[in-house]
Amino acid sequence: MGSSHRPARANSGGHDPQLNDAATAEPRPDPRFIPLDLHRNFPARDANRTYYVKVTKNGLPLGAFVDEACTERVTEPDVSSAVMRLRFSPALNKGKPVEGKAVVRPTEI
């Protein structure tokens, strides 16, 4: 009767045997961990901007950047704080969590 399917453990940093070993994916914001007040931290002028976030293999943000090469850090304290409060599904390389870079667009969160 019951299903033997066990959901993948997000942000565990460990290898889940049910993940496809060939899977490759970029990190993305995990909808289960989006703060309710997140959008208040993005000034209206910045709401349509794209930010780039370096993410650990455990789904934690390492830094928020305004350029895709991740060389220019976000300088607006409210925006930086909001992005750093996010949690991410980790990047996958051959099914294993690795560090990666997430694209964050406030209007899409």
Map out the domains of the chain as residue ranges.
28-108
Give me the mean pLDDT over the 32-61 stretch. Answer: 85
With vertex at residue 109, the alpha carbon angle to CA 26 and CA 60, rounded to the nearest 5 degrees, is 50
pTM over 0.75: no
User: Which residues are 91's β-sheet partners?
Assistant: 98
CA 49 to chain centre: 16
pLDDT for 23 equals 83
